[in-house]
Structure 1
């Protein structure tokens, strides 16, 4: 179980790694109190130094679970120029062939075994171990750094049918030359009998198949000294009998993070289902009408703006309100000639005919003074109109909430919302750690997406205020009005002539004037329901060769242009009431083929 807990600990460490920067940039100003560089010395890049020698020792073994492990001691003798470097950094790979290496730093010392200060961080698949003197000081001349660390999953089954320790004992990513490099790999006596006798050493640039000497002495292998120029490295391959090492199991349920993610996902799904039950039972609207009854008049005291807010169609609220003011006589719609197609504008006629909501819209369009005859062209952005529209929509929404919605105990909403946030977030976070720990992508990645989505689903399900009985009645009345507007003309006439219709508000269906007044009054509500085009076409037929008093065309009245203009007015009015954010200032084997390697450099 030790390997499992190490992997858990490494996962946590990788997920919480802190980025550090200890390098002193070339040419940086000297801190106060620091001796200046000697005259004539040009400050170079911190990578501009050499290693007189590098020696690495590997003790290769396996843990109780059969995982190949190595304890590594690397001795770097660096030659630093004056006043340039504060130390060096060693990058240790955190993965190898889809398995985590879980690097664990044991110590960083000098040649005498005295500890050197160091810090670690993870970056680009490396555990970076940085040993540096304090700011304002320099490591100069010959400096020895001894890095001792432990890594897992260093040996595994290969495609050639045997298990191998196939490892980059010196990286091809080092920008410094090495005067003399040697490596010694000692095999644990427990594994000595499993050696196949096959071993190889490769030297050179990445992909090189050039061999280097690596004689065997008992259960140990030691390379002959070689000089390395950037970007040359050294890779060793030592064969073991098949089954000597336990390969890393990347399957989902082999990882504790997979189990943790699964449990969190199940909890998140259950919470979302609970939120659905809460939505259905505790947050549903009060009963309205058992059946929808067709209506040809809006609810008493409810204008088109309020209807749009109640039905959740706030994007249509302002266009509907503008048309309501036009039909009521406070303004009229003017069709102006445009370069490619006509443009629509509003002209102030009589603000005294506007209701409270209408006055707010008129002031947004024409300003507080409301000068009669002033025009506003739709389609352009207007911050004044946008502010007035937004404030009116918010005010109407608050009124609807206050009068037509009921309160729900806070716990009914907060408990599933918070639990969904925690469990959905845990599903997401555990999945990320599992991926860092090289767990297979399926089902890890889909569960990450699911956890993220369930957070929003749960919150959306429980964040609503249900309608009370009065609000539900108004909603169903509006649905009846929508049904009436959507009927064929014969059905509307039949309904108006029925005993029930005649009792509500007698309408003489043979009187074109009465029918026109009725249909005009419903045009703003047709906009709310998205039926303005069909309703405008019907109105155009009723107007015949006449033009409505609230509409002024650029030429003779045209029924097709009128009905088309109603649709474009809705879009233009909506865009005009949206604030602009555009601003206004204009302006076989080979070197590098194994695990290990990593990077080295200066700071």
Structure 2
């Protein structure tokens, strides 16, 4: 009997270890083989393999544009989905970038409101829906717009925080659904670890109860071993289950590699490598992606440096340059008006402690446009902080 109890105890512990080992192996991402990492293969015919270490950590080639929905020629993947597939989870910044992307594409306008208490209060923002949008939003974007503007065509960010946090949670859930629908994950990316956690807790509770029962029985010396083994096995499942996650499919890995390659472009691009005409075309479109990757200030300052160089090379006056920029820049976010109205109005729209110094001197001349545009990243961070204050609990699983 003692030998049987000992063998049962070893079996329980061994089974727990085996479950963790197999689960960890199954949580490794897949990747297409026989083609360059980051390229899309045929799901039906291209072979795949598990990636050692879990995620792809090999060479990331620079990509000069966001990944496409279904390869070359299709629409780009939205910034919210790009950030989500890279990190494997949807953070508030992914929702922030989606809202700003909608504004860049003309579906809504974002206008900063003057902070309360003489500028010492928290920055607030006004969202205004475009009654005549330039196109059709994606399904999950439409749901977000409907949730945002259910109360009316205009809504304050402070109202979203106090009464309409459901819009943010809906956006988060929608982004998770889209990653599964696109085949990047086979199930909800945050649903991993649940079974091992539940079984671990059950084993620990069962082990304690078994030990208590056997402790009161006669000749209980080795009869407590199965209970102890169950407790140890439960701890193994709980601790080992922390590293278990839902793996990306080979398609999801390809999108992630392309996304990281695009991030590399945003991080390493230099002013002398981009023509002004090209920068003016891509600045607003790529800005939401820069927000997701945390490099909005760098991307904005880079555009400012390119514009300043263009002004110098072309011999343009400050007024002419401002008029030229107003044709390209998405500026309603900053002031509700065009750049031709002058930078001075922007200063009054923000807390001077946040970006006032950035725009200092622009009223007396064009100043350092690179530094001025860098302040845009700080302003966008304020919107991200506002969204970050919303309650996202309950949406991760």
Short-chain TM bin: 0.5 to 0.7
- Secondary structure at the residue paired with 1:345? strand
**Compared with structure 1, are the counterparts of its residues 326 and 448 closer, same or farther at alpha carbon in structure 2 (3 Å cutoff)?**
same
Quick one: distance in 1 between partners of 2:178 and 2:27?
A: 23
The counterpart of 2:130, out of the listed 347, 350, 361, is 350
Determine if the alignment matches structure 1 residue 525 to structure 2 residue 306. Answer: no
Contact 2:31 2:254 (C-alpha < 8 Å) held by counterparts: no
Q: What SS does the aligned partner of 1:299 have?
A: coil
**For the structure 1 residues 365 and 279, does the alpha-carbon distance in structure 2 shift closer, same or farther, using more than 3 Å as the test?**
closer
Distance in 1, matches of 2:157 and 2:332, equals 19
Question: Aligned residue pairs: how many?
Answer: 297
Aligned 1:150-229 pairs, distance under 5 A: none
* CA shift for structure 1 position 482: 0.9
Q: Distance in 2 between matches of 1:430 and 1:347?
A: 55
Q: Identify the residue that residue 337 of structure 1 maps to in structure 2.
A: 115
Q: Say if 2:169 is the partner of 1:390.
A: yes
Q: Distance in 2 between matches of 1:449 and 1:554?
A: 62
**Distance across 1 between alignment mates of 2:207 and 2:5:** 6
Q: Are 2:145 and 1:377 equivalent residues in the alignment?
A: no
Deviations 1:67-92 (A, max 9, x none): xxxxxxxxxxxxxxxxxxxxxxxxxx
> Is it true that 1:297 corresponds to 2:65 in the alignment?
yes
Mapped to 1, the partners of 2:196 and 2:385 lie a distance apart of 41
CA distance in 2, matches of 1:517, 1:554: 25
What does residue 478 of structure 1 align with?
259
Aligned to 1:182: none
CA contact (8 A) 1:331 1:550 kept: yes
Instruction: Give the distance between the partners of 1:382 and 1:354, measured in 2 at CA.
Output: 31
Q: Of the candidates 226, 230, 234, which is equivalent to residue 451 of structure 1?
A: 234
What is the match of residue 103 of structure 2? 326
Partner of 1:467: 249
Q: How does 1:488-507 map to 2 (within 5 A)?
A: 489=270, 493-494=272-273
For 1:376 and 1:257, the matched residues in 2 are separated by 66
Structure with a larger share of its residues in strand = 1
Inter-partner Cα distance in structure 2 for 1:341 and 1:574: 17
Residue 112 of structure 1 corresponds to which residue in structure 2?
Answer: none
Give the 3 Å change call, closer, same or farther, for CA 333–537 of structure 1 in structure 2: farther
Cα distance in 1, alignment partners of residues 171 and 289 from structure 2: 18
* Pair member with larger Rg: 1
1:510 match: 275
Name 1:218's counterpart in structure 2.
none
8 A Cα contact 1:324 1:521, kept in partner = yes
| Structure 2 SS opposite 1:338 | coil
The 5-angstrom pairing of residues 554-565 of structure 1 reads 555=348, 558=359, 559=372, 561-565=375-379
Higher helix share: 2
Q: Is there any run of 5+ residues in structure 2 with no aligned partner, and where?
A: 38-58, 69-74, 222-226, 309-317, 323-328, 336-345, 350-355, 360-371
Q: Structure 1 residues 395 and 484, CA, compared in 2 at 3 Å: closer, same or farther?
A: same
Q: Is the 8 A contact 2:101 2:285 kept in 1?
A: yes
Match of 1:308 in 2: 83
Which fold has the larger relative contact order, with Cα–Cα distance below 8 Å and residues 6 or more apart in sequence? 2
Which SS does the other structure have where 2:348 is aligned?
coil
Residue 456 of structure 1: how far off its partner (Å): 6.8
Cα distance in 2 for partners of 1:328, 1:457 equals 45
Between the aligned partners of 2:254 and 2:80, the Cα distance in structure 1 is: 17
1:9-20, aligned counterparts within 5 Å?
Answer: none
Cα offset for 1:578? 4.2
TM-score between both structures, scaled by the size of structure 2: 0.59
Q: TM-score scaled by structure 1?
A: 0.41
Q: Could you tell me how far apart the structure 1 residues matched to 2:208 and 2:347 are?
A: 63
CA distances 1:219-265 after superposition (whole Å, capped 9, x unpaired): xxxxxxxxxxxxxxxxxxxxxxxxxxxxxxxxxxxx99887555422
Alignment of 1:529-568 (within 5 A): 529-539=293-303, 548-552=331-335, 553=346, 555=348, 558=359, 559=372, 561-568=375-382
Q: Following TM superposition, by how much is the alpha carbon of 1:542 offset from its aligned partner in structure 2, in angstroms?
A: 5.7
Q: What is the alpha-carbon distance in structure 1 between the residues aligned to residue 393 and residue 208 of structure 2?
A: 40
Quote the Cα distance in structure 1 between the aligned partners of 2:89 and 2:206. Answer: 37
The separation in 2 between residues aligned to 1:310 and 1:489, in whole angstroms, is 26
Q: Shift of residue 541 of structure 1? A: 5.1
CA–CA distance in structure 1, aligned partners of residues 196 and 128 of structure 2: 54
